[in-house]
Amino acid sequence: MGENWVRTVSHMMFGIGIFTLAACATSSQELTGSPRSPLSPAEVRVYTQAPQSFEEIALLGATRKSVSTAGAERAIAKMIETMRLQAAELGANGLLLEDISDSDPVAVGSGVGTQTYTHNASISVRLGGSLGVTKKMVKARAIFVPPPRAGT
């Protein structure tokens, strides 16, 4: 019983942890201007600095939890891609990134164990693990950048 029990419980804990992390992505959208005709996401340019002239259409936000540095970079890329899709749906041809941040990491851990006694020995098996979870946040504005004027 001991070895199978440890394996079963550890698989359950791992599954619960993965499910919890997978369910932790959110996004928000607040209209601040007038939407335009939808565009292709490929037409949405990502800006890290405000262009000289633009019209704000919406404020966008996204959060995602990550368990590693590489995972955090992928999480940010996925959030920006999701925001590009949202901006395109609103007819925005630009996405102005304003804030990329992360919360303090939270440690998630669990452990299981079992112990068996025989007439001349005691056998104890313990299994534990933990990981740090960081919540990444991205804030941006969906914007429309007018085409440059002829002769400028």
pLDDT, average across residues 97-102: 85
Q: Say if 56 falls within a structural domain.
A: yes
pLDDT value of position 106: 61
pLDDT value of position 140: 96
User: Rounded to two decimals, what is the model's pTM?
Assistant: 0.65
Domain count, the chain: 1
Q: Say if 152 falls within a structural domain.
A: no
pLDDT value of position 47: 97
Res 76 pLDDT > 90: no
Residue 57 burial class via C-beta count within 10 angstroms: exposed 0-12, middle 13-18, buried 19 and up: buried
Q: Which domain holds residue 83?
A: 2-144
Q: Say if 149 falls within a structural domain.
A: no
> Any residues with CB less than 8 A from the CB of 100 and at least 6 apart, and which?
76, 136, 137, 138, 139
Q: Say if 76 falls within a structural domain.
A: yes
